[in-house]
Amino acid sequence: MGKEKKGVLLVNLGTPDSPATKDVRKYLREFLMDGRVIDIPLISRFLLVNGIIAPFRAPKSAKEYAKLWEDRGSPLKFNGFDVKDLLQESLGDTYQVALGMRYQSPSIQSALEELRSHNVTEIIVIPLFPQYASASTGSVSEKVNSIVNTWQIIPSITHINQFMDHPKFLQAFAENGKALMEKQEYDHVIFSYHGLPERQIKKGSVGNQCQLGACCNQLNERNRYCYRAQCFYTSRQLAERLGLEEGDYTTTFQSRLGKDPWVKPYTDIFLKELPAKGIKKVLAFSPAFISDCLETTLEVGEEFKEEFEEVGGEVWDLVPSLNTSSTWIECLEDLVKSA
């Protein structure tokens, strides 16, 4: 018998295959047709996505992706492959590491088939989202289970569904932030997270605890999977490692879609209020993303910077994502071995 291997499946959200409008439209359709992303009835979701969002948003998004694209392609994808290779090197030949994307390529299906071809005895699934949300981590777990359930032999599967409290994850982001703070003095720090509709937060509430208010200022057994509470917790932990006091930083949320209320405060509205308060030099983090992508590099790094400067801001710097940070690889290695 050959040496037994454990499988590790890393999964990120995904990216279009190219910045061409047709590929962006294809990506948007797959992404937004996920019932955990837009949680409305199927027929309404189909009409909304295919009749309004994908046709009209794809050309605009394609232009944004073109700005982001590098010689190696999408940063989210090539950083994903680099992380996979670095983690494989760290773990050694008793593990087999594969990378899949929830939407588009490489697919979760192909990554699971790769692991199955190596006859792994178990699979450790790590959705690359620090904070749990039904629309991200939940969707990955659902997809993995639906595929593996068709196999004749189903291996043991462990889902790691959040790691926002892992010391190495926090250390890696803090290291990136400190590198900028040593070069520039900032008036305020913003931790901007991807937003979610408020209704999705409430759906996951245990015993109607969620009020989308001060209840998020602490993390406990009852709200451990409340996305908003997890984000506030992440900010508090990063602030502690960066030596920030309570008034030195703010947690905000970005990337709203549609007219329904999303979790607050909104980053784009909050930042416009700062210069009038004498806050003109801001350091921005995106701790919901482990890789540079459209929402970090362009939305936080460029769009918010322009909006901030238009109202009198002077400095707006974005802390790089973890990408291939050695501390981040150590975090993943520990997550695997502790699973």
Residue 40 is assigned to a structural domain of this protein: yes
Residue 191 is assigned to a structural domain of this protein: yes
What is the distance between the alpha carbons of residues 125 and 305, in angstroms, rounded to a whole number?
Answer: 36
Question: pLDDT digit string (tens) for 261-307?
Answer: 999 999 999 999 999 999 999 999 999 999 999 999 999 999 999 99
Residues 132, 182, single domain; the answer is: no
Residues 86, 157, single domain; the answer is: yes
Q: How many structural domains does the chain have?
A: 2
Residues 136, 268, single domain; the answer is: no
Q: By C-alpha distance, which of 167, 146, 171 is closest to 157?
A: 146
Residues 148, 293, single domain; the answer is: no
What is the distance between the alpha carbons of residues 23 and 97, in angstroms, rounded to a whole number?
Answer: 27
338, two tokens: 């502790």
The stretch 323-328 carries a mean pLDDT of: 98
Percent of the chain with pLDDT over 70: 99
The stretch 240-269 carries a mean pLDDT of: 95
Q: What is the CATH number of the domain that holds 77?
A: 3.40.50.1400
Q: What are phi and psi of 127, to 5 degrees?
A: -65, 130
Residues 308, 171, single domain; the answer is: yes
Residues 185, 123, single domain; the answer is: no
Residue 286 is assigned to a structural domain of this protein: yes
Residues 103, 204, single domain; the answer is: no
Q: Where in the sequence is the domain holding 137, given as residue range(s)?
A: 6-163+326-338
Residue 253's pLDDT is what? Answer: 98
> Strands 156-159, 95-103: parallel, antiparallel or unpaired by DSSP?
unpaired
User: pTM (2 decimals)?
Assistant: 0.95
Residues 77, 137, single domain; the answer is: yes
Residue 1 is assigned to a structural domain of this protein: no
Q: How many CA atoms lie within 13 A of 240 on its CB side?
A: 9
Where helices occur in 33-158 by DSSP H, the ranges are 42-48, 54-68, 75-91, 108-117, 139-148
E strands in 73-138: 95-103, 122-127
Residues 156, 180, single domain; the answer is: no
Whether 1 shows a pLDDT value over 80: the answer reads no
Q: Which of 47-51, 185-189, 212-216, 330-334 has the lowest mean pLDDT?
A: 212-216
Residues 186, 281, single domain; the answer is: yes
Question: What's the burial of 247, exposed, middle or buried (CB within 10 Å: 0-12/13-18/19+)?
Answer: exposed
Residues 172, 302, single domain; the answer is: yes
Question: Strand pairing partners for 95?
Answer: 6
Residue 258 is assigned to a structural domain of this protein: yes
The helix (H) or strand (E) run that includes residue 241 is: helix 227-242
Residues 177, 303, single domain; the answer is: yes
Question: pLDDT digit string (tens) for 96-128?
Answer: 999 999 999 999 999 999 999 999 999 999 999
